[in-house]
Amino acid sequence: MKLSFKNIEKQFSGLQVIKEFSRDIDDGELVALVGPSGCGKSTLLHIAAGLEQPSAGQLLADGQEVRSAHPERTLMFQENALYPWLTLAENVALALEFQKQDKKEARKQAVAWLEKVNLKGFEDYFPHQVSGGMRQRAALARAFISHPKALLLDEPFGALDALTRMTLQDALRQLIREAGPTVLLVTHDVDEALFLADRILVFSARPATVLKEFNLAHHEKTHDLSEFAPMRREILGLLGIHAESGDDAHAVGSLRTAAREQEVLAA
Ligand SMILES: Nc1ncnc2c1ncn2[C@@H]1O[C@H](COP(=O)(O)OP(=O)(O)OP(=O)(O)O)[C@@H](O)[C@H]1O
């Protein structure tokens, strides 16, 4: 699905959050949105999902104006995405039941998707009985089961430790390769953006405008991102974080804290 943002503006009771955002996101492309806390990244995802309407401008999905939410554009959040009173299989199956699929068939497909994300044997566990990483695997299964044409990911792995996050990034990349949706990924983790994205848009503080975009399509990437060190340094620099060489890992880790501090100072 091609998403075309055309001169999008968004205000909340006089607070300008997004200013003249125009970009095409091509069918099957993965674009990461990186920027200071509170600049408007989630708001852009909500507009893409059809949960918020732009104050001005238009969003087209395959040429049709987006006016409301639709399962072909699926939003996935950081945590607490699963219903605690349902098992993992019931949570995943629910996405199909919402679309009026037969309960038995929905369960069958849910079990197959849980197997795809390495959760075979955990179908009848409740969310509190599994780890945070396993919950997000189930959330991925639930996001993919209805074959969305666009996947809108809002810091999907933000609450996980670094190692678990990397295994989830691998799982996500595999699912994307198989299913081929267009993906918008909001992340505070510059390495996550470098690893997963075809393109990275770096936003300014509110109102969000694109400071710079980086193209990473056609790079075969591993978690060893050393070849992208100059790009990572430039992105962090744009975000006001100055990483000395050798100190990048720390700088990436502190991006979230620094961004929150900027938000507090700006308030
Ligand atoms: N529904 C709403 N009503 C009023 N203000 C809102 C609403 N949604 C977002 N905002 C405001 O818009 C601004 C941008 O919020 P948004 O969540 O899009 O930022 P963000 O870049 O995703 O932040 P973070 O990285 O911290 O998640 C914030 O100041 C927020 O308070």
Q: What is the 3-state secondary structure (H, E, C) of 239-258?
A: CCCCCCCCCHHHHHHCHHHH
Q: Whose CA is nearest to atom 14 of ligand 1?
A: 40
Say yes or no to pLDDT of 85 above 50.
Answer: yes
Mutate to test the pocket of ligand 1, among 8, 16, 17, 201 (most ligand atoms within 8 A of CB): 17
Q: What is the pLDDT of residue 61?
A: 96
This prediction's pTM: 0.89
Give the atom of ligand 1 at the shortest distance from the alpha carbon of 46. Answer: 18
pLDDT at residue 184 greater than cutoff 80: yes
Alpha carbons 123 and 112: distance in angstroms, whole number: 10
Q: Which residues contact 35 (CB under 8 A, 6 or more apart)?
A: 41, 202, 203, 204, 205, 208, 239
Q: Is the CB of residue 15 less than 8 Å from the CB of residue 22?
A: no
pLDDT on residue 255: 54
Name residues whose C-beta falls within 8 Å of residue 119's C-beta, 6 or more positions apart in sequence. 88, 130, 134, 137, 138, 141
What pLDDT does 232 receive? 94
Q: Ligand 1: residues whose CB is within 6 Å?
A: 12, 17, 35, 37-43, 206
For the chain, how big is the Rg over CA atoms in Å? 18
Instruction: Choose which residue among 18, 19, 42 to substitute to test ligand 1 binding: the one with the highest number of ligand atoms within 8 A of its C-beta.
Output: 42
Give yes or no for residue 126 having a pLDDT over 50. yes
Cross-strand bridge partners of residue 257: none
Q: If you average pLDDT over residues 32-45, what whole number do you get?
A: 93
Q: What is the pLDDT of residue 89?
A: 97
Name the CATH superfamily, with its identifier, for domain 24-54+65-72+149-266. P-loop containing nucleotide triphosphate hydrolases (3.40.50.300)
Instruction: Report the SS3 class of residue 34.
Output: strand
Task: Indicate whether 69 pLDDT > 60.
Answer: yes
> Which pLDDT score is estimated for 245?
52
Nearest C-alpha neighbor of 127 from the set 148, 107, 142? 142
- Whether the pLDDT of residue 101 is over 90: the answer is no
Nearest atom in ligand 1 to the alpha carbon of residue 39 is 21
| Residue of higher predicted confidence among 260 and 142 | 142
The predicted complex's ipTM stands at 0.95
Say how far apart CA 11 and CA 57 lie, in whole Å. Answer: 12
Please report the pLDDT score of residue 145 as a whole number.
94
Of all protein residues, whose CA lies closest to atom 3 belonging to ligand 1? 12
pLDDT above 80 for 77: no
**Mean pLDDT throughout 36-49?**
93
More confident site: 206 or 193: 193
Domain segments of the chain as ranges: 24-54+65-72+149-266, 81-147
Helix or strand holding residue 19 (H, E): strand 15-25
The 10 Å CB-count burial string (b at 16+, else e) for 145-176 is: beebbbbbbbbbbbbbeeebbbebbebbeebb
pLDDT tens column, 237-256: 999 887 655 445 544 444 55
When pLDDT is cut at 50, 70 and 90, the band that residue 159 belongs to is: confident
Mean per-residue pLDDT, 117-134 = 95
